[in-house]
Amino acid sequence: MGSATVKLTIDGREVEVPSGTRVIEAAKKLGIEIPHYCYHPALSIAGSCRMCLVEIEKFPKPAISCHTVAADGMVVHTDSGVAKQARAAMLEFLLANHPLDCPICDQAGECKLQQYYMTVGQYDSALLDNKVKKSKAKIIGPHVMLDSERCILCSRCVRFTDEISKSHELGIFNRGDHSELSNYPGMSLDNPYSGNVVDICPVGALTDRDFRFKVRVWYLDSAPSICHGCARGCNIRVDYLTRRLHHNDGKRIARFKPRFNPEVNGHWICDAGRYSYKTLEDEDRLYNPRVTDGNGDNPGWNAITGRIADALSSHISEYGVGSVAVIASASMTNEEMWAARQLFYDGLKIEKIAWRIPPGPDDIDDDLLIRADKNANTFGAEQIFGPMTHAADVQQVLDKIAEGKIKAWIVLDRDLSPAFGEEKIRKLTGGLKFSLYAGSHLHATSRSCRFLLPTAVFTEKEGTITNFSGRVQYFPLVVPPLGDALPMLEALSRLSAALKLEPISTDPGAVFTALAGDIAHFKGTSYAELIKRWAPISKIPS
């Protein structure tokens, strides 16, 4: 009694768990998945679906493993005849009024009803009554669609809105087989985390309006990645399409899903991050190197870097290096920042490397995940560009351009127009003698620059970013860059070669090693270790 751990036997195997652990979690520790719907480790326990029934010796009848606390000497059978029969019978209940419209259900392929039916279902239904009809394809929020017939009333979504988003939009109304999930009258499921209810809904009752009918889930591949939407750096799973590109409007990235990492984001991601995938392959992507004035449609990388090098060198010899500023994005990877520092600060001796734009008035930290800082790597920028704080603020650079002191700029993957206004940026760039933009998208800033170099978005490259708390996180390449785009590291390396400066490695691992040797915050961290530290995509679902 009162000891810190308890020992119990599950399916003949002994396991030691901290006291207070639920049987379902103890089984998970042994790699045994007990079928469940309503239980979710991040939510309170409802015990409503009864799917997790197991046989426990000396218990008079099957018990729900999500609520039963593991006790010393307990002997649990998850696979005995009693447990199996209990589960099959529960599943039959859950399916009693289920419409089984899998052919048009977006959940098909990742549906717990389908999965458990195949593994533990009772194939011959004894039910003869007509199914109860409920509302279908009902829009309950900007991102979520509800099909009440498919709902198994597990109440996970209700508990999510009560306990996690604390926005209380959902409830279960009516009684018996007329029980129905719905939003409260006059309320719409509209909170910054609403997309998560789609992930936790074990069936196809809540589906994503954005993903709806785009592509069948079994055509998708998954890769782990890190969201670049804000300074939190939530761990995500990127679901992407490499074949059958007639689906998903011909785009490769189909959706972002949260990836469990207790140290960063837990089970959730915010809606802004979830739908940020849309910008990755939109019409505004820059596909080819360009020179905006005259004879310069797609000159190719070699020609354009040569021309940039000539223009930049002659500018520097005419106006001096003090007239050049670099505006870097605080969402670049640590390695890219290091390479930019090597190229512009150490190589060209440009001292004004600006990256900071203060968050707008609407951007605030909330107490779950969202950070006011919408840059993925401000922490890294502070560490890496920090020592050269002559002009960390972009505002300073803009002021100096207005004063006429800065006559050239190099913008790395950043649109300044949302923060400073399109007109102002266009006017300022118009007065510049030299302007180069290396980045992934066409926007007011890049369109007003002379030379444009296309670079990859984060799913098209690998690297590390540092979140607001200083945690360095690795993300891999998911899909190859579109068009002629190259990862920023490679673009900087080519630029450096054209300028005949110290070569810059295009291997993020090598650059990270160099960076870790210099910057205190990264000392003692190895790239290989960061790769290993990925939270894997879990085999046993929550």
Partner 1 sequence: MAVQNIIKVAARRREATLGFWERVYIFEVVRGLWITTEHFVGNLYYHILKLFGIIKVHPLTPTIQYPEEQRTLAPRLRTLHRLVRREDGSPRCVACMMCETVCPALCIKIVAAEGDKPQIEKRPKSFDIDMGRCIFCGYCVEACPEDAIRMDTGILDIAAYSREGMVLDIDTLLSLQPAQRRTDKEVDELQRRLLQ
Question: Choosing among ligand FES, partner 1, ligand SF4, none, which partner's interface includes residue 216 (Cβ < 5 to 8 Å by kind)?
Answer: partner 1
**Residue placing its CB nearer to ligand FES in the complex, 160 or 475:** 160
Residue 477 contacts residue 461 (beta carbons within 8 Å)? yes
Establish if 102 lies at the interface with partner 1 (CB under 8 A).
Answer: yes
Nearer to ligand FES, 91 or 226 (CB): 91
Contact 284, 438 (CB under 8 A): no
Q: Which is nearer to partner 1, 108 or 514 (CB)?
A: 108
Letter string b/e over residues 26-36, b meaning 16 or more CB atoms within 10 A of that residue's CB = bbbeeebbbbb
Does 139 bind partner 1 (CB under 8 A)? Our answer is no
Within 281-320, the residues that bind partner 1 by CB under 8 A are none
231-to-329, 362, 468, 470, 475 alpha-carbon distances in Å: 13, 16, 5, 10, 15
Q: How far apart are CA 412 and CA 455, in angstroms?
A: 9
Kindly tell me which residue out of 69, 71, 127, 137 binds partner 1, with binding defined by CB under 8 A.
Answer: 137
Q: How far is the CB of 110 from ligand FES (least distance, A)?
A: 18
3-class DSSP state for residue 285? Answer: strand
Tokens (6 digits) for 170: 């959902």
Residue type, 391: A
> Which residues have a Cβ under 8 Å from the Cβ of 61 and sit 6 or more positions away?
none
- Which listed option, ligand SF4, ligand FES, partner 1, none, makes contact with residue 52 (CB within 5 to 8 Å by class)? ligand FES
Specify the length of the chain in residues: 542
CA separation for the pair 373, 197 (Å, rounded): 25
Q: Give the span between the Cα atoms of 90 and 68, in whole angstroms.
A: 18
**What's the CA angle centered on 84, arms 82 and 90, to 5 degrees?**
100
Nearer to partner 1, 104 or 528 (CB): 104
One DSSP character per residue, 418-483 reads HHH-HHHHHHHHHT-SEEEEEESB--HHHHTSSEEEEB--GGGS-EEEE-TTS-EEEE---SPPST
The 266-285 contact track toward partner 1, x by CB under 8 A, reads --------------------
Residue 113 binds which one of ligand SF4, ligand FES, partner 1, none, with CB within 5 to 8 A depending on kind? ligand SF4
For the chain, the distance separating the N- and C-terminal CA atoms, rounded to the nearest angstrom, is 30
Is 218 a residue that touches partner 1 (CB under 8 A)?
yes
Residues in the site for ligand SF4, rule: CB under 6 A?
98, 100-103, 105, 107-108, 111, 113-114, 150-157, 181, 200-201, 203-206
Compare residues 170 and 456 and give the one whose CB is closer to ligand SF4: 170
Asked if 246 is part of the footprint of partner 1 (rule: CB under 8 A), the reply reads yes
> Least Å distance between CB 154 and ligand FES?
6
Annotate each residue in 40-79 with x if it binds ligand FES (CB under 6 A) or - if it does not, as one string. -------xxxxxx-----------x-x-------------
The partner in contact with residue 66, picked from ligand FES, partner 1, ligand SF4, none with C-beta cut-offs of 5 to 8 angstroms by kind, is: ligand FES
Minimum CB–partner distance for residue 136 and partner 1 (Å): 7
- Least distance CB 203 / ligand SF4 (angstroms): 4
| 39 touching ligand FES, by CB under 6 A | yes
Judged by DSSP in three states, 530 sits in helix
The distance of closest approach from Cβ of residue 345 to ligand FES in the complex, given in angstroms and rounded to an integer, is: 56
Does position 38 interact with ligand FES (CB under 6 A)? The reply is yes
203 binds, among ligand FES, partner 1, ligand SF4, none (CB under 5 to 8 A by kind): ligand SF4
49 binds, among partner 1, ligand SF4, ligand FES, none (CB under 5 to 8 A by kind): ligand FES
**CA–CA separation, 110 vs 103, rounded Å?**
13
Helices 422-430 & 394-403 angle (0-180, nearest 10): 50
Q: Residues 269, 258: contact at Cβ < 8 Å? A: yes
Task: Give the interface with partner 1 as residue ranges (CB under 8 A).
Answer: 101-104, 108, 136-137, 212-214, 216, 218-219, 244, 246-247
Task: Give the interface with ligand FES as residue ranges (CB under 6 A).
Answer: 36-39, 47-52, 64, 66
